[in-house]
Chains A and B, each alone.
Chain A
Amino acid sequence: MENFISVLEKSYSKIADTYFCDKNLTEGYWSNLEKNEQVLLLSQLDRKTSMEVVNNLFPQLEEIIFDPMRAVGLRLLDIKPNEHGVDYGCMWGNLLIYAANNCEAMLGIDQTKESLAFVNHRLKEERIGNCYLLNANLRDDLPFSEMFDFAIINGVLEWVAEDNQVELEKFLSRSRFKLISPRENPRNIQLRFLEMVRNNLKTNGRMYLAIENRYDYQHFLWKRDPHPNIYYTAFLPRKVSNLICNFWFGRPYVNYLYSFGELENLVKEAGFDEVEKYAVFPDYRFPIKIIPLDKYDNNDYEPVYNLVQTSDIKKKIFHRIRREIDNIIYKKLKLLYFAPSIIIIARKG
């Protein structure tokens, strides 16, 4: 029976343990590092372990790349040892490696060749032989119809409509460099992507989708919309956000976030049937608490944050206030709809 591995062999070229498209190699780029930093990182991997290199050059990325707790949400997928899975936008491979350890075979897809080279190095270090890497653009049609038991989309949906190469720090700095506008409404691009994800799942296949919540209450107060890095665009009507983004960046708002309800609608529109919704604290990247939205018992809710001890009195006051507001919103009023992040487990019927 044909599986994703035979399709990879048939449809793509294998270079240095990574599969590439024959026609034209994708020129996509999305990374926490700038391109020259990635080159530096990769150049040192033949002499030291990946953890040593990261600790030495970019210690701020250590947790993002290596912390196993980042993958804790994947337990919701209940991955079985005989299953095949795919991680769309696998980046540094943190969730990909966790999943590969739990299933029969795993495919990691990313548009950034440099990230895949890093992941490939990590796979060798960890002696993981059941993980395959593909360099591809997630907007392209991928020929894996009904081949996966589960799919992971972790912090990717909001970037799918982004045509620009993203070197994250540069991208978040609010300089008015010319950005490419999306070719069409970002929601349509996201919808098509989810349809493709669904199509690549077997019947009863599950999708793990993690993203920031558009209506995180902090967006209304002190928190910037994390992608354009400006205030209020997350929750304002798209037309208003377009105006604001046009003013700052010369292009409309692209990184669409959703509320619980909007995301459920989008996922169902893409053809998924059963949808379980979870509120995630303090965010989906480093989840500490994940609460099923429909079965919420508030008795033992406590605010959780990944905080470093600080002696700064202003920060301490801010943390205290935020804690109190969290208690009021999530514990007393039970308004989980204002949680910081969302995880959705959706099933293809």
Chain B
Amino acid sequence: MAYELINSGSHQNDVALFRYKEHSKDYYLKVSLCNDANKVLEKEFEGYKWFSETIKKELCNVELIKKHFYELKIPKYNGIKFPDNSTLDKNRVYVEKIILFYKDRWPINEKFAVHGDLALNNIIFSEKDINIIDWEHFHLSEIQNYGVDIINMVFILLSNQVIKDFNLSYSTLEFLKKCYRILLNGNDSMKIAGRPFCYARQYIINNKHNYREGINIEEKFCITKFDERALEKLDRHIVGQ
């Protein structure tokens, strides 16, 4: 069985990512290289399991292999994938799809959870289904934090466009307003209501301990690098105040 190392330590987490074929099926294998990285894979496995059982209502097809150094065996999901530098304007259809998926399927009860890194490049759209990968920042959370993942995803896509002082085009702004409307649907009890980007930033900073251990939040999540005043301006545009 020939393994291909796709990358190693790219997120400073001592986890390597391989791909290989087994019985003519493609798999990814995340391999821990130290004890701390075992925890990363354990957390990620919890995320996959939660997604399968809570969202997709099926058995989890990801396997955590507990050797001295853990391994996470993930089947390859076929479908449309997106590069890291995807932008909002070029992917509006998919953004809308994922918001609708989130709205319909994400639980708003005690099982509510945050993916933590719901970027478009971690979502695979197949004809019938949506799969989400890279659950290493997964954590259960309070329902009031509904929407934080989506706002963070939208911000990543926005930041990949050339933005100067968030002077966005009319059509981009209108699209953002639409996303906000679909996501909240008039439910003002959620904490993102009224200040989506500011709250998403605050959430990540305040809940650092729930994200992967040892991660540099400021380096990883671009929303945390932005000044709160700049985000307030963006919030005002979208919320329409």
Contacts and interface: CB of A to CB of B under 8 A. Distances in A.
Given A69-B14, A72-B33, A75-B18, A289 B6 contact: yes
A256 B18 CA distance: 31
Contacts of B14: 68-69
Nearest to A80: B67
B7 interface: yes
Contact of B69 (A69, A76, A102): A102
Interface in A66-82: 68-69, 71-73, 75-76, 78, 81
A46 interface: no
A305 B4 CA distance: 17
B7 A289 contact: yes
Contact of A102 (B1, B2, B37, B67): B67
A330 interface: no
A98 B29 CA distance: 18
B23 to A, nearest CB: 16
Given A68-B34, A98-B33, A75 B16 contact: yes
Contact of A81 (B7, B9, B10, B67): B67
Contact of B8 (A72, A78, A291): A72
A140 interface: no
Contacts of A2: none
Nearest to B5: A290
Contact of A101 (B1, B3, B31, B69): B69
B68 interface: yes
Q: Which of A73, A98, A288, A300 has the largest number of chain B CB atoms within 10 A?
A: A288
B4 A75 contact: no
A73 B4 CA distance: 10
A295 B33 contact: no
Given A101-B68, A102-B68, A69 B9 contact: yes
A294 B16 contact: no
Interface of A: 68-69, 71-73, 75-76, 78, 81, 98, 101-102, 276, 287-292, 294-295, 300, 304
Question: What are the 6 closest A-B residue pairs judged by CB atoms, nearest first?
Answer: A290-B5, A68-B33, A292-B2, A68-B34, A69-B9, A72-B16
